[in-house]
Structure 1
Amino acid sequence: MSPFRDILDAPSFLHCIAFRLETLLMHQPTTQPRPSIYYPYQVFAPWLPSQHPAQERKKVVIAGSGPAGMVTALELARHGVPCVVLTSELQFSQGSRAIVFTRRSMEILQQVGTAERMTENGLPWLYGNSYYRGQRVFRMESQHDTDDRFFPMLNIQQQYMEEYLYEACAAQPLIDFRWGNKVVKVEQKAPVAHVTVDTPEGEYQLDTDWLVAADGGRSDIRTALNLQMEGASYEGFFVIADIKIDLPLPTERFAYFDPDWNPGNTILMHREPHGIWRVDYQLPPGETPEQALRPESLKARINAQLAMIGHAGVPWELDWSSVYSARTLTLPDYVHGRILFTGDAAHLLPIFGVRGANTAFQDAQSLGWQLAFVVKGLASEKLLANHSAERVGAAREIIDEAGKSTRFMAPPSAGFRLLRDAVLSLSLTQAFVRPLYHWRTSRPHAYTHSILNSLGDDNALFKAGPAHGAPPQNIRLGANDFLLDHLGGGFDLLYFTDAAAIPEALQKVVQAARAQGVPLKVIAVGANQPVAGADQTLADAEGHFRQRYGVLANGVAYLLRPDQHICARWLTLDATRLQAALNTALPQ
């Protein structure tokens, strides 16, 4: 990695913040396709400044084209905001990396148009298995019912996910995607960020109202600004190895604790598409990543694992390997002047419980709509402060949960190891300790304390249904028709009624909000015929929708934010309460 020059001194972000990476030569990303035995890497042509006119000031520039960067771009485009995406490479990331995607991630990807391809090519699953001394001591079953369009988990390699997101970006005229463009300098002079971008033919300048730092766990932007993360790093290392092998095992998670060939440590296995299996194994203390990735070391350990599960001698071929360590870290604030941090640039989370890309999708969905509303003048910059508070809170919740899983998988001290070993031993005969194996799977964060939640609604009086800050409960409406198919793109007001029309006073509030540019859709639920004043009517002949949402009478309503999280719900709704909730959700 290129060293940094000194960060320029400045009294505040509002005056000047600058950094620069030393560049002895023009940026020259590799033009050789990455090696893979199953994924055909494509090398894209770089975006070169000589082939384009002088650059005008941009609304948003996104540095980084991983999951967080591309989903942010697609969310901005959904709300009508153009952006530029800069990526230093000329091809998708190497290796499978993130491979397990949660139901909520799939719901977010549905909003940006890539869920169908993920579902067509991925492997869904429900169960996770934990083994100790050859005995299965715990079997996790993820919740799944007929109201869910997507399975709790879907396995597919990150390259495919990036491919689908990129193709969605390329099809979107509001997204200017630039391969081979590396951010090497940023200077902030409110209200503009001056960005210097290096390319294979040299540098050019790009001014933007907002720079989104989505440049990954080794974020150059974060490092150059000398921003410190809070949390803990764990000393243990894990090897990731993707192998092509034919194993007669289902698509489930397999975890093996304290095996004879790797005493005291943990091994994880996942099936991936195209005959690939992911093997994660913990290294003994003192072994370096370089030693662990030697071909003879990889071969010996993978063979030992295959032998342990009864498949010794089955031929396999290595596709990719890497080493990672568990970290539970976050920036305390994701907004720094005109720079907004998201994804791994904002936090570093352990992969146990599939928290990496899945958290990045939630970050991007949150940032996308709130930044779009600020750019369009529909809310003040308080909305970005709210985004930071909500997502920092989510990261800290994840850190607390993931820390428990990490300490069980890789005990950081003799005391933790003693406790973990006691659980392992007892689990062979005592059922009550076995749930301690649960890996606390990633789940969507509920923004329970968000400043966008209405203070004057009836949230506390509901007996069922999604509460303040929670994502919506999907509802099956037909054979291939679900509630979330009809939400998104703005605020959604779910109004439960079998009357012929939405009350006139509510219609006036909706019309006034739309006149100010606020996207607000009204969905009437329960009537068999179209309801006047509603943009759409969803029948609920059997009352299932109303039951899941705690609706006992006409006039109950839910207000959903553009990311579908609940910001208000009422047992009875009038115009004054609706206007107050909209004012709260769009701080001025």
Structure 2
Amino acid sequence: MHQPTSEARPSIYYQYQVFQPWLPSQHPAQQRQQVVIVGSGPSGMVTALELARHGVASVVLSAELQFSQGSRAICFTRRSMEILQQVGVADRMTEGGLPWRFGNSFYRGQRVFRMEAPHDPDDRFFPIINVQQQYMEEYLYDACKANPLIDFRWGNKVVQVEQQDGYARVTVDTPEGEYRLESDWVVAADGGRSPIRTAMDLQMEGASYEGFFVIADIKIDLPLPTERLAYFDPEWNPGNTILMHREPNGIWRVDYQLPEGETPEQALRPESLKQRIDAQLEMIGFGGTPWEMDWSSVYSARTLTLPDYVHGSVIFTGDAAHLLPIFGVRGANTAFQDAQSLGWQLAHVVKGLGSQQLLANYSAERVGAAREIIAEAGKSTRFMTPPAGGFQLLRDAVLSLSLTQEFVRPLYHWRTSRPHEYSHSMLNSRGDDNALFTAGPAHGAPPQNIRLAANDFLLDHLGGGFDLLYFTEAESIPAALQAAIDAARAKGIALRVTAVGAAQPVAGADQTFADADGHFRARYGVRASGAAYLLRPDQHVCARWLTLDAVRLQAALNAALPQ
């Protein structure tokens, strides 16, 4: 029988709650489920919340009885916050988080590069916000618990998944023994060491980099701003790199590479941790400042992905699908994008609004995103921790030149995680005017947020289905276009119409936003009435037109929901 630990995990700043296990004897016989999600990390819970937004129930299975140990993911991007806004937890993230937009690189005691992430008045969220993962998991869990379509089961460990004809049979172990659960679909969100992936003998593609890195969270009072701090080739750790981040609750993250040959066990000895952290504090001018250890761990950099995320009735997402280095805040941020993409496409398959081509598209899009990230992250990793030989020589030359030569300093840029643009998605319209636009978000891109009022933004009003942004100053939506909209809704397609430009409400539109100064139209590259954008339920653009009519709208919806 599975016996998860019932002792609360230690932490200086976070009070862990131990939840009661879900026991089969306390519940009636299990019926066939639509979706079972294995894993209660960021990708698992966001997938459940996304499915629920589209009216699809799920069961979430967590082998543990409490949230993950340690701060783990701490840096969340603007796009992640926009996704978390859709599932209802962005406000709590903002309340407790530390926003920032600058990153600093130091060499030989000199700041040689300062990165500034873009931020303008149309952005609700900062480029990055720091929040420890336990808090993020707590906020997601509270949202799951409040949703009647999500059945969350603590202390339930999946020990076997058997593929059947059109469904899967899941064997689940609990503190009082095993039970079986049948489901049309199983989402494997069971982490980087995914037991499901291992049991299915699925191999990842990519590379694993040499060397290990220590993450240490310490409680310390440092009068430094919330900015990324990177120190290259310090005297106390020659040839290696140290990163520092401020976290909420007086915690600082110290991240450093180990010398060649040192084992993780040696690195995590208290005397080793103290020596390295004291040396780092001494180097930055705060030697002797008292500090206390909260949590430490060791990781290695890997750039790996499954070549296909869909295998029969089992769908992989998050770290179960790919392993990415932390440089550039790519782990949880990529998982959120996976979950958002999977949630709407799986929901439309379950509801019969689209064929299983949607799941093939999910795999193609997210594998493509992982490979793009791997290419970018590989460059960052080779600069942060260069392999011996040519990479080492090149990195050392950049470090040396950067002390006096401005032109090499941008090579320090850490290629921050960004939302993938599904430019070649099979869901993009083939007959629209995408190529004729000179501005605005293109095929596959996420939308450009727009500030509508002091604390009111476009993305506050979108989501839950397809969104049609229709630019017009007329009194009503054209009759033929309205008929096409009504026909789509009659089929069960959630389609919201937002009119942009008119001073008064437009008949047939669900909402109208005036655009007296033309700012909205300029950001979307629109020059005349009748233009439009169609956003998928994950808000990525799948069609845009200089002039929209009913036939073109229907063609775009047919492409986005293949039958």
Cα distance in structure 2, aligned partners of 1:415 and 1:462: 43
Cα distance in structure 1, aligned partners of 2:471 and 2:496: 14
Aligned position for 2:235: 260
Q: 2:367 aligns with which of 392, 414, 418?
A: 392
C-alpha displacement at 1:462, in angstroms?
0.4
CA-to-aligned-CA distance 1:114-148 (integer Å, 9 cap, x gap) = 00000000000010000000000000000000000
Indicate yes or no: 2:471 matched with 1:496.
yes
Cα distance in structure 2, aligned partners of 1:469 and 1:166: 30
CA-to-aligned-CA distance 1:247-282 (integer Å, 9 cap, x gap) = 000000000000000000000000000000000000
Aligned position for 2:207: 232
Aligned position for 2:79: 104
Aligned position for 1:91: 66
CA-to-aligned-CA distance 1:309-357 (integer Å, 9 cap, x gap) = 0000000000000000000000000000000000000000000000000
Indicate yes or no: 2:348 matched with 1:373.
yes
C-alpha displacement at 1:235, in angstroms?
1.2
Aligned position for 1:175: 150
Aligned position for 2:482: 507
CA-to-aligned-CA distance 1:46-78 (integer Å, 9 cap, x gap) = 000000000000000000000000000000000
C-alpha displacement at 1:541, in angstroms?
1.2
Cα distance in structure 1, aligned partners of 2:35 and 2:136: 23
TM-score where L is the length of structure 1: 0.96
After TM superposition, the structure 1 = structure 2 runs for residues 31-430 of structure 1, keeping only pairs within 5 Å, are 31-430=6-405
Aligned position for 1:524: 499
- Structure 2 unaligned spans of 5+: none
Amino acid in structure 2 at the alignment position of 1:99: I
Cα distance in structure 2, aligned partners of 1:531 and 1:547: 20
Aligned position for 1:13: none
- Structure 1 unaligned spans of 5+: 1-25
Cα distance in structure 1, aligned partners of 2:48 and 2:369: 21
Cα distance in structure 2, aligned partners of 1:162 and 1:189: 32
Aligned position for 2:445: 470
CA-to-aligned-CA distance 1:389-433 (integer Å, 9 cap, x gap) = 000000000000000000001112321111100000000000000
Q: 1:555 aligns with which of 530, 549, 555?
A: 530
Cα distance in structure 2, aligned partners of 1:337 and 1:563: 24
SS at match of 1:353: coil
Amino acid in structure 2 at the alignment position of 1:63: V
SS at match of 2:135: helix
CA-to-aligned-CA distance 1:276-305 (integer Å, 9 cap, x gap) = 000000001000000000000000000000
SS at match of 2:210: strand
Aligned position for 2:558: 583
CA-to-aligned-CA distance 1:70-128 (integer Å, 9 cap, x gap) = 00000000000000000000000000000000000000000000000000000000100
Amino acid in structure 2 at the alignment position of 1:207: E
Amino acid in structure 2 at the alignment position of 1:312: G
Cα distance in structure 2, aligned partners of 1:301 and 1:413: 23
C-alpha displacement at 1:542, in angstroms?
1.0
SS at match of 2:522: helix
C-alpha displacement at 1:231, in angstroms?
0.2
C-alpha displacement at 1:388, in angstroms?
0.2
Cα distance in structure 2, aligned partners of 1:86 and 1:513: 35
Cα distance in structure 2, aligned partners of 1:264 and 1:198: 47
Comparing 531-540 with 319-328, greater Cα deviation is found at 531-540
Q: 2:454 aligns with which of 466, 479, 490?
A: 479
Aligned position for 1:21: none
SS at match of 2:300: strand
SS at match of 1:47: coil
SS at match of 1:267: strand
SS at match of 1:235: coil
Amino acid in structure 2 at the alignment position of 1:278: R
Aligned position for 2:428: 453
Cα distance in structure 2, aligned partners of 1:274 and 1:534: 46
Amino acid in structure 2 at the alignment position of 1:484: L
Cα distance in structure 2, aligned partners of 1:120 and 1:92: 20
Cα distance in structure 1, aligned partners of 2:508 and 2:165: 43
Amino acid in structure 2 at the alignment position of 1:485: D
| Structure 1 moving runs of 4+ over 3 Å | none
SS at match of 1:370: helix
Cα distance in structure 2, aligned partners of 1:413 and 1:329: 21
Aligned position for 1:572: 547
SS at match of 1:303: helix
Cα distance in structure 2, aligned partners of 1:449 and 1:361: 21
SS at match of 2:421: coil
Cα distance in structure 1, aligned partners of 2:387 and 2:158: 37
Amino acid in structure 2 at the alignment position of 1:417: Q
Amino acid in structure 2 at the alignment position of 1:563: D
Cα distance in structure 1, aligned partners of 2:11 and 2:378: 33
Cα distance in structure 2, aligned partners of 1:164 and 1:41: 13
Amino acid in structure 2 at the alignment position of 1:343: G
Cα distance in structure 2, aligned partners of 1:573 and 1:303: 64
- Count of aligned residue pairs for this structure pair: 563
TM-score where L is the length of structure 2: 1.00
Aligned position for 2:414: 439
C-alpha displacement at 1:192, in angstroms?
1.1
Aligned position for 2:520: 545
